[in-house]
């Protein structure tokens, strides 16, 4: 049993808890619950909600498709190379979102480093389109996927892989039949975290894809606009985003509240 904390420490802890909980409780207190269904049924909200679900799920799938191979590679790196690659992966998590959007614009814009080549070869323009929203969402979701899976991969005893290889399994079979099944919880957790991060993305999306209703306006962007025009609608959409966050938290409850 741990020793009790001093009263001053407990009081500061209480202040910190109130500081976090008070804004969320205040928002929920102001929600017009009797009109919630009607508010969520408006064209602006339904367009934003549908677009958010489509783009965030697409981003989660892309992030998993790219993140699993990257996590597998990173888990096998050591020393400076591993530290450098991990730092690059973490960077989108700590960049100001608008800077991330600007970086995407200079990379994948019509005159960008990659975008100009893609545009010349295929005629595809990424910014200010649905594809641009998915790209922005994937950019911010990918680090969560990679780091979650990498941590689980590093925890695997390498003797399992060696045993499978000794029994005649090739590299692909070892990965798909031994390694990935062992980290299935991390795959699910990474997918959920990436999806939730993509669903809540704002800064990179508005900078790279714009804020066009029915085309690139996701739920967070619609909340931003509604705060100036219809605060009740903004509160209703905020409830949806909070609900998604709670869903992810409950889905990953074993990571936050481990059974002892």
Q: What is the pTM of this model?
A: 0.90
Paired tokens of 156? 């695997």
Report in angstroms the alpha-carbon separations of 37 from 31, 49, 203, 228.
12, 13, 28, 21
One digit per residue, the tens of pLDDT, for the chain of length 260 reads 677 888 999 999 999 999 999 999 999 999 999 999 998 898 989 999 999 999 999 999 999 999 999 999 999 999 999 999 999 999 999 999 999 999 999 999 988 889 899 888 888 889 999 999 999 999 999 999 999 999 999 999 888 888 888 888 888 889 998 999 999 999 999 999 999 999 999 999 999 999 999 999 999 999 999 999 899 999 999 999 998 888 887 777 665 555 55
Contacts of 130 (CB under 8 A, 6+ apart): 51, 54, 55, 215, 216
Break the chain into its structural domains and give their ranges: 7-256
Query: Cα separation of 182 and 191, whole Å?
Result: 16
Please name the fold of domain 7-256.
MetI-like fold (1.10.3720)
């Amino acid at each position: 049993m741990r020793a009790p904390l001093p009263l001053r420490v407990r009081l500061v802890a209480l202040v910190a808890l109130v500081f976090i909980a008070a804004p969320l409780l205040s928002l929920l207190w102001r929600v017009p619950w009797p009109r919630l269904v009607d508010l969520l049924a408006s064209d602006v909200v339904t367009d934003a909600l549908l677009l958010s679900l489509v783009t965030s799920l697409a981003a989660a799938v892309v992030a998993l498709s790219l993140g699993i191979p990257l996590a597998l590679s990173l888990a096998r790196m050591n020393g400076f190379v591993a530290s450098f690659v991990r730092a690059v992966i973490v960077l989108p998590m700590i960049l100001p979102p608008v800077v991330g959007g600007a970086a995407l614009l200079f990379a994948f814009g019509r005159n960008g480093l990659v975008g100009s080549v893609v545009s010349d070869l295929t005629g595809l323009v990424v910014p200010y389109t649905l594809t641009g929203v998915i790209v922005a969402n994937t950019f911010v979701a990918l680090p969560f996927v990679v780091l979650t899976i990498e941590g689980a991969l590093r925890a695997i005893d390498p003797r399992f892989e060696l045993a499978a290889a000794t029994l005649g399994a090739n590299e692909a079979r070892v990965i798909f039949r031994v390694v990935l099944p062992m980290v299935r919880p991390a795959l699910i957790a990474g997918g959920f975290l990436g999806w939730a991060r993509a669903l809540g993305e704002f800064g990179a999306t508005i900078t790279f894809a714009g804020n066009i209703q029915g085309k690139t306006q996701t739920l967070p962007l619609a909340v931003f606009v509604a705060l100036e025009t219809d605060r009740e609608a903004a509160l209703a959409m905020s409830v949806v985003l909070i609900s998604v966050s709670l869903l992810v938290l409950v889905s990953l409850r074993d990571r936050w509240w481990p059974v002892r």
